[in-house]
Structure 1
């Protein structure tokens, strides 16, 4: 040991409770410890210097508060309605640190980093060993090289803790494994049966059990079974009449009553005949007079079960309260460890010193002194030993306790002194008489030495004096009479009786008896009579009778007793942990399956107490199926399952939510999705299941079927691009994927194949360089999915703050969102946002969207004569922008901005503040124009080079998205592939309608912007359709409002039709407007050909 401790300078010591840590540190340091605070205010840190294993080290003593880690199911199984309870027998279980213990865990991690060794000072029982391994797990995760040792002790006294330090051992993994098995089985069995009972019975008896938790436990139910069994025995008891003969003799030294040796007869005639024979000659003859020594045994050494029983009977303190007080007395150093199965004092325990400590007390001190004077303590031992702790005994004298603490401490002291004393001695006299050949007996007692009774008032042994009778003498009895009696039923169980039955049948342990009893009381399964006896309630009776009627005696102790026996074998190393776990799970799973199949018997049993029951719902409705795992999460390696959003879309969610927020969204055009049994042989980590998908018509390339089986693991590049598959940490904000019901245009990564040889308008060479993508996202309001988080996020990615306009003016009192740090120019009106004041130029539907107040295509009040060049900045027309100054009164007065140099009616809509942090001349990425889409020249060039490859680009402003199907067109009117556009900016409260018309494939030869502004000019031909940019003043789903065609600006549709088709569209049959979609049914082949030719600009 000394060799192993070389180089150790600091040793971390961890006790089970703070009081124990404080007491141990105080004893080892001899009162010279230094206290400091830990991260948990309930668990202090005590430092002191100590000579350990031949080394001078600094001991750092701290504590936990019981179990540091807990077992629970993975997140997808924790909700009661998440799965069929049968699944819980196989569901994956994880160990985690509860939130209220995180500070303790952090303290251990912090202190471990500066220590080289760890000594476990938890209680030396099963639970303490398991807590020790939890501490080891946490500490070794921080420092794997940490040396780990175990201190074994049974009391917090100077001698005990010093001996523990001198005899450090290794922790016992087998004992900890037994606790892990018990905890896992209790969780699985309890959760499965509790959910089954509660969910079912709440629906069947809603008037009585709607708010009742109906729990089940493998110890809890046998405990309830003992109470119900005793109650039913009393109910079933039929009293019987019996008869006996009683004889009394009035002696000058007192009245003596003689008992009939036959005791009693149930046959009245037989007893009457014998009585008449006695009455014929009622003279009594003494046939036997005997005397023998009689002893009353002193109590055995005290173990936990006896402490609970005796405290309940003698002190009227419940078992739970008894153990709470005993734990406190132990941590204060007044008694030895109170959780022990041993009733044999070890030979090396110095009992004389313990007795000497009690001599100062005026109540039992003289008796303790008499023990020492008569040769010292001679304890009466039992026959049980757990090889871990001695029997419960006092370790230190105190007279400062109060209340029940003082009463329990006094009981433990008196019991210890009585055990170390002598048995009470007496002389018993027996006189036997004969009357007509019927024998009668009288007993007397003379106490010769009270011994232990002098200090142990909880036992009584009283004298019963008999007169002197001589053998052969005769006397005339005073009375000879025949008396009747009646048998009586057994009494209801007391807490002591119940604990005795639990111990006899192996239900629970000495440490858990009180807990199980309190549970059945808290669940209202049993109640207490005025004399503290257990009486079963209606719910408890119904549950026991229901399960018994199924044929499985779940209220009987057999199943749990087998488990307790197996746990002992694990501790002894005679049985493997995994074998016991597998066998017990299968056993209880079989019982559970049968119980569910015969659940109506449970309903019938309870209906006897609760009245008429409701109709039983289908099992599938009560217990939904658990989603099968599709693949492993790339973040935490837990299962990812396919789920359905409230809005109807699909997504893959990590079962580790909320700790892990990894998610993969499927686009909205996926109508159906389910896991296929086939597994992708390529994707890792294995297995990655394929998905069966059904998509909306027109959402996929013509070469792809609408229903197919595909892999989403990433091996299928085409499918990944078409579905826009990617992992994200929660709902996307700036650019939601198509699976979110946002107003942005949906993503698509496929186009119809076109003949590239039929182009006639080649694109000019691209001379502009890409600009920092951050500029694209300026003032972009956050998009949130329906039913998801709706918080507003600024361009910095932080949650925006909500402010109110205080300055006098038209916007006074209006609320708006702004960047909390002021590091970006984000601005958004909170609700009911109005468009910017109209200027002389017409504006697209929805106004100038997503811009700060005072901005627009050309802000009102700007100066014209003083315009100058934009300093190298290019507008959307690829021409040099001009710089102008805001002249209108307001917060932006005097501020300069760049705008298009063309006349107002022909401007491209470019706008940029001069003082924004954008590099001059970086014109490849223009500031986002309100209400417009955007086509990247770089993407266009890439598309020309790879015409058949889908495009997938992620820019800071969001994904490239396309519109969805606008209407249900006929076969000859199917639209061509849509143009690629960025999601247009919206003002607060507005969403984009996901529409698509027959001209959505048209792309501008220059900037590829959709045409959204008037007046219409011939030069605008081919820029694209306004349909993808229609604005709706609502956040609800577009299909829930009105027909999509009614949202189109009819003037634009008419102008576009005139230019491209040569004649105006006739009015729509649904909305009455010239939308150019619903009402048109006379498209000719020539018109379709002209439309296709125009669309081929995309491939140039």
Structure 2
């Protein structure tokens, strides 16, 4: 099966009684006629021959100890709680003594950390205590946690500092503090997972041929769940968790031998189409900020809240995704048309953050660091003043696209190509409410500046 003219063969091994789905080795074709011709050959042949079978043991390793950015990303992904709310609740749990200090970049425990002192009380937890007991004597399946490579030399990774009893859970439920339960459970289960052995499986790939076309199926046979017992959906036959933070797709395959022949139970050719990339989630955005070294673990969530909540450049939609508003798109388009892409791309901010870090490390003097940041920003501001018509035009184009706007041709004032606010028919000097504020819902008004039109002849915003 596959999009864009893909195909596949569903197969059942009568001896094993287990189903396996094989994917077309070509993946997809964009020539429908050719795809249907090849599919005809497969339909005529019907019989599949196993050409190759190979497997190997593979391991899925536990997560490294928890720092702030990983906590925000993982909880946001699994529980749909915003990064800002994650930090708010985590600080409440810290102040109540349930978890360690939640603002840390460190993801490695020191060699002398008292693991037994933390794991011991968790053996009495009413849900995941079974795993804490497995890490303790006599089972002793403890493994020293991995090293994530980050240390802020101030705070250890985040871990549970005391057992939350059933009475604590009842109090949280009674007070409507369900996020306390979700985040405490995550911190405790993550800590236990880091102290656990890796999951082990046998990964198998089977290649078959039908009518001259190759197909392939890949699957795993899980041998030992280990850390996934507490970090996934729970052990088979044991406690099951409402929230899973990790997993290993249990796409098991029957046993095949090279040269074996069988008849697939289903053959299919499915039309499809290319798809645009998904909107970024808060987790995606946090990761991109981390990749560009923008902000710190304590401020990255605040940046997102400012962009979404305060300034209305984006709104949350669907499955916790971020969609740019008309205003957000207009600012990006306007900066791009003015040649000021650095005002919305992450590059300039990343350079500034890097210089701040170099100053802190003594690798760059403060005056040079200031100059590296202020000089290009002042240059950009002067360009913006000179070309303000282009920004006004872009905002007009995106915020109220159905009006008749004047196209701004190239000119000395920087009013370059685009669609702009003008004084022609259908456009008033004071435009009034043009959209609802993404943050509070109040009307956003576009008004003429009290000082009159600037050098670019555009309106100002308030």
Shorter-normalised TM-score: what interval?
0.7 to 0.9
Of the three residues 56, 64, 68, the one matched with 1:300 is 64
* 2:276 match: 489
* 1:418 match: 193
Alignment of 1:941-952 (within 5 A): none
Distance 1:276 1:364 in 2: 54
Of the three residues 267, 282, 287, the one matched with 2:46 is 282
* 1:291 match: 55
Distance 2:358 2:376 in 1: 18
Larger Rg: 1
* 1:443 match: 218
* 1:475 match: 262
**Counterpart contact for 1:570–1:577, Cα < 8 Å:** yes
**Cα pair distance change 1:267/1:384, threshold 3 Å:** farther
**Cα pair distance change 1:481/1:396, threshold 3 Å:** closer
SS of alignment partner, residue 486 of structure 1: coil
How many residues align structurally?
Answer: 382
* 2:149 match: 383
| Residue 543 of structure 1: how far off its partner (Å) | 1.5
SS of alignment partner, residue 190 of structure 2: helix
Of the three residues 507, 523, 527, the one matched with 2:315 is 527
SS of alignment partner, residue 272 of structure 2: strand
Q: Any idea what the Cα deviations from partners look like across 1:653-690, whole Å, max 9, x if unmatched?
A: xxxxxxxxxxxxxxxxxxxxxxxxxxxxxxxxxxxxxx
Alignment of 1:918-1067 (within 5 A): none
* 1:465 match: 252
TM superposition score normalised by structure 1: 0.33
Distance 2:10 2:336 in 1: 51
**Cα pair distance change 1:546/1:436, threshold 3 Å:** same
Alignment of 1:584-599 (within 5 A): 584-599=373-388
SS of alignment partner, residue 387 of structure 1: coil
| Residue 619 of structure 1: how far off its partner (Å) | 4.2
**Counterpart contact for 1:241–1:266, Cα < 8 Å:** no
| Residue 416 of structure 1: how far off its partner (Å) | 0.4
Distance 1:303 1:480 in 2: 48
TM superposition score normalised by structure 2: 0.77
Higher share of residues assigned helix? 2
* 1:344 match: 108
In the alignment, structure 1 residue 245 sits paired with structure 2 residue 7: yes
Q: Any idea what the Cα deviations from partners look like across 1:372-417, whole Å, max 9, x if unmatched?
A: 2325342122222223322111222233252212221111010000
Q: Any idea what the Cα deviations from partners look like across 1:96-120, whole Å, max 9, x if unmatched?
A: xxxxxxxxxxxxxxxxxxxxxxxxx
**Cα pair distance change 1:452/1:375, threshold 3 Å:** closer
SS of alignment partner, residue 227 of structure 2: helix
**Cα pair distance change 1:313/1:589, threshold 3 Å:** same
* 1:540 match: 328
Distance 2:142 2:320 in 1: 40
| Residue 241 of structure 1: how far off its partner (Å) | 7.0
| Residue 281 of structure 1: how far off its partner (Å) | 2.9
**Counterpart contact for 2:3–2:270, Cα < 8 Å:** no
**Counterpart contact for 1:447–1:462, Cα < 8 Å:** no
**Cα pair distance change 1:446/1:241, threshold 3 Å:** closer
Q: Any idea what the Cα deviations from partners look like across 1:749-782, whole Å, max 9, x if unmatched?
A: xxxxxxxxxxxxxxxxxxxxxxxxxxxxxxxxxx
Q: Any idea what the Cα deviations from partners look like across 1:14-34, whole Å, max 9, x if unmatched?
A: xxxxxxxxxxxxxxxxxxxxx
SS of alignment partner, residue 312 of structure 1: helix
| Residue 280 of structure 1: how far off its partner (Å) | 4.4
**Counterpart contact for 1:525–1:536, Cα < 8 Å:** yes
SS of alignment partner, residue 482 of structure 1: strand
**Counterpart contact for 1:282–1:436, Cα < 8 Å:** yes
SS of alignment partner, residue 451 of structure 1: coil
SS of alignment partner, residue 295 of structure 2: coil
**Counterpart contact for 2:330–2:394, Cα < 8 Å:** yes
Distance 1:461 1:506 in 2: 30
Alignment of 1:1066-1081 (within 5 A): none
SS of alignment partner, residue 70 of structure 2: helix
Q: Any idea what the Cα deviations from partners look like across 1:910-953, whole Å, max 9, x if unmatched?
A: xxxxxxxxxxxxxxxxxxxxxxxxxxxxxxxxxxxxxxxxxxxx
**Cα pair distance change 1:574/1:248, threshold 3 Å:** same
Distance 2:218 2:351 in 1: 46
**Counterpart contact for 2:10–2:20, Cα < 8 Å:** yes
Distance 1:251 1:574 in 2: 65
Distance 1:291 1:607 in 2: 60
Q: Any idea what the Cα deviations from partners look like across 1:505-546, whole Å, max 9, x if unmatched?
A: 222111111111111222222212243221221222212211
Distance 1:310 1:297 in 2: 16
Q: Any idea what the Cα deviations from partners look like across 1:24-81, whole Å, max 9, x if unmatched?
A: xxxxxxxxxxxxxxxxxxxxxxxxxxxxxxxxxxxxxxxxxxxxxxxxxxxxxxxxxx
* 1:560 match: 349
Of the three residues 311, 316, 335, the one matched with 2:99 is 335
* 1:229 match: none
Q: Any idea what the Cα deviations from partners look like across 1:169-213, whole Å, max 9, x if unmatched?
A: xxxxxxxxxxxxxxxxxxxxxxxxxxxxxxxxxxxxxxxxxxxxx
**Counterpart contact for 1:286–1:433, Cα < 8 Å:** yes
Q: Which aligned segments of 4 or more residues in structure 1 are displaced greater than 4 angstroms?
A: none
**Counterpart contact for 1:352–1:377, Cα < 8 Å:** no
Distance 1:267 1:423 in 2: 45
**Counterpart contact for 1:278–1:436, Cα < 8 Å:** yes
Q: Any idea what the Cα deviations from partners look like across 1:297-317, whole Å, max 9, x if unmatched?
A: 222211111111111111221
SS of alignment partner, residue 263 of structure 1: coil
Q: Any idea what the Cα deviations from partners look like across 1:1050-1079, whole Å, max 9, x if unmatched?
A: xxxxxxxxxxxxxxxxxxxxxxxxxxxxxx
| Residue 462 of structure 1: how far off its partner (Å) | 4.6
* 1:868 match: none
* 1:265 match: 29
Pairwise CA RMSD of aligned residues?
Answer: 2.3
Distance 2:85 2:103 in 1: 14
Q: Any idea what the Cα deviations from partners look like across 1:687-718, whole Å, max 9, x if unmatched?
A: xxxxxxxxxxxxxxxxxxxxxxxxxxxxxxxx
**Cα pair distance change 1:279/1:619, threshold 3 Å:** closer
SS of alignment partner, residue 242 of structure 1: coil
Q: List runs of 5+ in structure 1 lacking aligned partners.
A: 1-239, 623-1100
Distance 1:278 1:593 in 2: 66
**Counterpart contact for 1:301–1:343, Cα < 8 Å:** yes
* 2:445 match: none
Alignment of 1:744-755 (within 5 A): none
* 1:397 match: 163
**Cα pair distance change 1:248/1:335, threshold 3 Å:** same
Alignment of 1:478-877 (within 5 A): 478-521=265-308, 522-553=310-341, 554-608=343-397, 609-610=399-400, 611=403, 613=421, 614=429, 617-619=452-454
SS of alignment partner, residue 55 of structure 2: strand
| Residue 564 of structure 1: how far off its partner (Å) | 0.7
**Cα pair distance change 1:259/1:551, threshold 3 Å:** same
Q: List runs of 5+ in structure 2 lacking aligned partners.
A: 233-243, 406-420, 422-428, 430-447, 458-462
